[in-house]
Amino acid sequence: MSSPSRLSVCRTVCALLLSGLACLPAWADRPKVGLVLSGGGARGLAHVGVLKVLERERIPVDVIAGTSMGAIVGGLYASGLSALEVEREVQRLDWDNVFASRVERRELSQRRKEHDFEVSPLLEVGIGSDGLKAPLGSLSSRVLEAHLRRLTLSASHIRHFDQLPTPFRAVATDMETGQPVILAEGDLATALRSSMSVPGIFAPLEVSGRILGDGGLVNNTPVDVARAMGADRLIVVNIGTSLAPRDTLSTLTGVTSQMINILTEQNVQQSLRTLTPHDVLIAPRLEGLTSADFNRAREFMDQGEVQAEAMVLRMQDLQLSQADYAAWKTARQRRQPPSPTLQFVRTEGSDLTRPDLRADMFASRSGQVFDVAKAERDINLLAASGDYLRTDYRLVRTAEGEAGLVYELEDKPWGPNYLQMGLDFSADNRGRSAFNLKLVHNRHWLDSAGSEWRNILRLGTSPLVGTEWYRPMSWQLPDGLSGFVATAASAQRRTFDVYRDPDGPEGARNERGLTQIALEAGLNWRELGEWRLGWVEQIGRDRLSLATDDYLLSRPGMDLVERWRESGWRLKAVFDQLDHAYFPTKGWRLDGQWFQGRGRARQDSSYAEGYLRYIDLQGQWVNSWGPHTLSLMGRLALSEGAQPAIGRFGLGGFQQLSGYAPFQVAGPQVALLRLGYHVRLSDMPLTRGLFAGTSLEVGNAWQRPQDVWTGAKKTGFSLYLGADTAIGPVYTAILHSPGVGPTLMLFVGRP
């Protein structure tokens, strides 16, 4: 080719390049802006306010690097959400329950709900060959993870975070080496959760063979990460690390938390020293707001907005015209892929459990179009079992192009043997007291069918030892019905005073022992409740002591020791939709049992033997208006046929005919109606709050069933302060009954 020809070609190429450059939008020829968002728990919600100001002022963000809560806010924004959409999602969350250690109580199986009345679900440790094992975190991120999963579904097909609408990096810590881990690819929701794994608060995550903890431990303000992504100018939002005051440093937890805060602040200052005069530092004023104040989200976002507005002049040169900013927003708009039709649904990650055996319980099925609500219902169902540290889901596509849904499960490292502890205690100004220490052992997944072994030991005033083997059956039943078989045995003893007249003095002291063996089959109906039908053998004994002459004269022919045996069929049903076992605010509960069989005297006692039938029904309804809660509870127990000389059923005790002692009002027929009210007064550390309440009760015991409706009634009244704590409910109460008078009581346990 001749020189003139080559020159002509060069001129043509140059002209095309110049014309192409002329077509580029003005916003493409500007500094690359990087946004750095620091970690800090709830304080990180201030980032949302900063993003709102950047959007309002038309300041584009080209790359984002974040740590912990900064990674979560930054990752959501990078996925294509606007600042207003992130703000709306923050406000939608029920922050009081976001970090709850388990699903809502009403979503649990009836078996799990019943455990709440024995021991608090907050105290659980594992038992292994190497001793006791504590949980990995005090809080659960399950609800937050589900929320992140839903919000990042539009990015589920993206493997590298450079492909997001805004390129993004999250920072985590390798808990084995102590080195920072820059998360640039993989599953976005998992990356966000990995960056926020505060030691001792949230369990660390295993990702690609590494145990990842909170990134704030090594790089809480990842300035260097944003620069490595090619940022020319940085907007750095440092929400600060609040150091705790002296009065919190008297405990191991307080000192450990302060050490983490000090280490975090040191790496923050090291990052801030690398900023240049062209970079912008935004430091929201968050005095009086802590990293745990998630329920003050609005205040955090407002403070972030205020401080960002104060720095607008420093960022004016980054502002785009309306047309250029609109073009930039269009370029980063997230694209929601259509929901795939599922070719398969499976579970992964669990070595101990076999949830796939009841895949019929899942709402998501093969052949259906993927539905977020169904997937979230399924992971709630799995979490409700109490077997897993984490339950999550993700959409996958195989090498053959098949779309599927995978439920990712992580077994609790401290399972499958669990130990829980509880306490019962009562004392009043009349010199009456009781104390019981309870230990409950649960062994989950004894076999591939999901069998469980439950043991309870109660030491103290009313000792008890009990065991139950429970085996789910693989019956395929409609409407969420599932079958089970169970066998149980227990032996218990309780001591109570008996009275000739409930409004008079004590007549004697009775020690009642009961030994029971039951073989049952039953049905669970989703999370609503269960039915049980089975054969029961029960051996009973009453032993009187300290009996007064008046009491003995009123019971001629009565043996001081009475023994009996009762055998027959028992039908039990429990349906429980209370939101909490104690101090519930809404819901209802129905509990009943029917028994029919025969009673026989043992060793020539005075027990009236023969045909036996009884029924014991209880119901409770609760509703709330703001902090005010109203409840109604009723009990009706009727029996006929063989009877022990001392009443089969009893009333008395706190809220069970307040003012009377337990079993002070006893007989073959009892009824009770209770109207209750409580109000939540304030927050209290390590509790659900401080409550004040009152109850009015009406009831009695009678000899004949017809007397329940026409016989005399007794009344009781209580006024109390209480709290739902890790060892169970605690009450300080004033009780009163016209027949007994006022009583001052301290009470721990189930009323």
Structure tokens at 277: 């005069």
Given CATH 3.40.1090.10, say whether it is the number of domain 33-101+139-332.
yes
Q: How open is the CA angle 587-443-355, to the nearest 5 degrees?
A: 70
What pLDDT, on a 0 to 100 scale, did the predictor assign at position 531? 96
Domain positions in the chain are 33-101+139-332, 341-411, 417-748
What does pLDDT average to over the chain?
88
Contacts of residue 183, defined as CB under 8 A and 6 or more positions apart, other chains included, come to 161, 169, 170, 171, 172, 191, 194, 195, 207
Given a cut of 50, is residue 497 above it in pLDDT? yes
**End-to-end CA distance of the chain, in Å?**
102
Domain at 341-411: CATH code = 3.10.20.310
Chain Cα centroid distance, residue 304: 30
Give helix 188-195 / helix 142-151 axis angle, nearest 10°.
140
Mean pLDDT of 515-535: 95
Residue 666 backbone class (left: φ over 0; alpha: ψ -120 to 50; beta: rest): beta
Task: Out of 352-356, 527-531, 600-604, 708-712, pick the least confident.
Answer: 600-604
The 10s digit of each residue's pLDDT in 637-676 is: 999 999 898 889 999 999 999 999 999 999 999 999 999 9
Domain at 417-748: CATH code = 2.40.160.50
What pLDDT, on a 0 to 100 scale, did the predictor assign at position 542? 93
What pLDDT, on a 0 to 100 scale, did the predictor assign at position 606? 74
Smallest Cα–Cα separation from 264: which of 135, 145, 148, 171? 171
What pLDDT, on a 0 to 100 scale, did the predictor assign at position 457? 96
Distance CA 267, CA 215 (A): 11
Assessment of whether the complete model's pTM goes beyond 0.85: no
